[in-house]
C-alpha cells in the first residue's frame, strides 16, 4: 500500500465508523461581544511585528511578501501598496550596500495609525547617509519620499550598525490614499 492510500484512509474513515464515533455538534451563536453588521472592528493599537533574515539576494522579495500579509493583519489604514514598495526599496538598499550579516525589519503602528518601518543592518551610518536621506544620491530613498514616507536614521540599538526609519501617515479624512510617482 502506498503512502497516499494510507493518508487517504486515515483522513476519510468508512462512513459507518464516522457516524458512530462522531458526537452531534451544534453551533451556538457568539453572545460575548456585540458587533454591528456594517461596522469594521477597531484594529488593536499600538501593534508591532519583527522579522530578521540573513542578507541574501532573495530578502527584498521575502520582505515584500511578509509585509503584504502583516499590513493586512495589522489593518493599517494607509496605502499598503506604497508601504510595501517602500519596504522593498529600503531592504534592497541594505542587501545591495551591506554585503553580509543580518537585516531586520520591524513594522509598528501607533495609536494614531502612523506606520513606522525600521530596517536595521550591520553597516554603520555616516555623513554620506545624511546626504542620501536629504535627496543627494540614489533613487531608492527618493522613491520613499515620493510615496509619502519620511526617512531618517539612527545607530542600531545593538550598538552595531544602523536603523533606517520610515514614517508613513495614514490617509487624512479628505485626502487620497493613492500616490503617483514620476521618475527623477
- What ranges do the domains of the chain cover? 47-168
174 pLDDT more than 90: no
Distance CA 60, CA 11 (A): 39
- The residue with greater pLDDT, 170 or 134, is 170
Q: What would the pLDDT profile of 64-110 be if each residue is shown by its tens digit?
A: 999 999 999 999 999 999 999 999 999 998 999 888 999 999 999 99
CB neighbours (10 Å) of residue 108? 17
| Distance (Å, whole) CA 83 – CA 148 | 9
**Residues of the chain above pLDDT 70, percent:** 67
Predicted confidence at residue 79, as pLDDT, reads 95
Entry pTM: 0.71
In the prediction, which pLDDT does 128 show? Answer: 75
Q: How far apart are the first and last CA of the chain?
A: 64
Task: Report the top-level CATH class of 47-168.
Answer: alpha beta
Looking at every residue in the chain, the average pLDDT score rounds to 78
pLDDT higher than 80, residue 22:
no
Amino acid at each position: 500500500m502506498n503512502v497516499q492510500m494510507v493518508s487517504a484512509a486515515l483522513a476519510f474513515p468508512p462512513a459507518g465508523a464516522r457516524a458512530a464515533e462522531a458526537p452531534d455538534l451544534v453551533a451556538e451563536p457568539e453572545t460575548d461581544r456585540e458587533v454591528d453588521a456594517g461596522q469594521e472592528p477597531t484594529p488593536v493599537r499600538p501593534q508591532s511585528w519583527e522579522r530578521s533574515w540573513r542578507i541574501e539576494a532573495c530578502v527584498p522579495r521575502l520582505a515584500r511578501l511578509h509585509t503584504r500579509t502583516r499590513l493586512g493583519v495589522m489593518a493599517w489604514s494607509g496605502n499598503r501598496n506604497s508601504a510595501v514598495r517602500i519596504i522593498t526599496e529600503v531592504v534592497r538598499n541594505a542587501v545591495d550596500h551591506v554585503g553580509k550579516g543580518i537585516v531586520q525589519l520591524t513594522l509598528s503602528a501607533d495609536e494614531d495609525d502612523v506606520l513606522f518601518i525600521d530596517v536595521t543592518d550591520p553597516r554603520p551610518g555616516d555623513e554620506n547617509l545624511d546626504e542620501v536621506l536629504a535627496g543627494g544620491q540614489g533613487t531608492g530613498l527618493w522613491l520613499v519620499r515620493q510615496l509619502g514616507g519620511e526617512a531618517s536614521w539612527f545607530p542600531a540599538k545593538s550598538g552595531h550598525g544602523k536603523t533606517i526609519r520610515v514614517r508613513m501617515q495614514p490617509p487624512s479624512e479628505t485626502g487620497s490614499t493613492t500616490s503617483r510617482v514620476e521618475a527623477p
